[in-house]
Structure 1
Amino acid sequence: MNTEVIGTWAGLVWTALNESGKMNVKALKKATKLKEKELYAGMGWLAREGKLSIAEIEGDVELELIG
């Protein structure tokens, strides 16, 4: 795994959130068709860039793009 691949996964996460707005991890995983570790790597990339809001609501993790 290299940064180019992780960047591609981040792009899939960004696209899904951009099209659908807020999503939980389960819905995002289904929308992107990524494996769990791939999904979290992409989420981490976007979070590190300050492009992702992550909140825990009623025991579920909800994600949303910032800006």
Structure 2
Amino acid sequence: MYKQDIKINSDLIWNLLSDVNALSIEEIEELTGYNEKFIYMALGWLLKENKILLTEKHGTLYVESLKSNYSEMYF
């Protein structure tokens, strides 16, 4: 059950990042309504697939998209 939920969450987060390029964890939480533990699991999924980069700026963790087009993820 959780694996499919995490996959769906990661797809939505990745789509958000493709539109804006970088978001903080708090911004992702506000935009998606996901709780923090599911966000971190989804980010782990995306990190494993080399689709995002994590950076820290002034003590805040930001997530940046490494690809500009969602279709590139599958083709």
Would you say same fold, with TM above 0.5?
A: yes
Tell me the equivalent position of 2:53.
53
The RMSD of aligned alpha carbons is 1.1
Matches of residues 1-67 of structure 1 in structure 2 within 5 Å? 1-67=1-67
Mark the runs of 5 or more structure 2 residues left unpaired by the alignment.
68-75
Q: Quote the Cα distance in structure 2 between the aligned partners of 1:32 and 1:18.
A: 15
Mark the runs of 5 or more structure 1 residues left unpaired by the alignment.
none
4+ aligned runs moved over 2 Å, structure 1:
none
Larger radius of gyration: 2
Say whether the 8 Å CA contact 1:14–1:65 is kept in structure 2. Answer: yes
Q: Quote the Cα distance in structure 2 between the aligned partners of 1:12 and 1:35.
A: 14
Tell me the number of residue pairs that the alignment of Structure 1 and Structure 2 aligns: 67
Residue type matched to 1:59 in 2?
Answer: G
Q: Quote the Cα distance in structure 2 between the aligned partners of 1:10 and 1:32.
A: 11
Residue type matched to 2:62 in 1?
Answer: E
Identity %, equivalent residues: 25
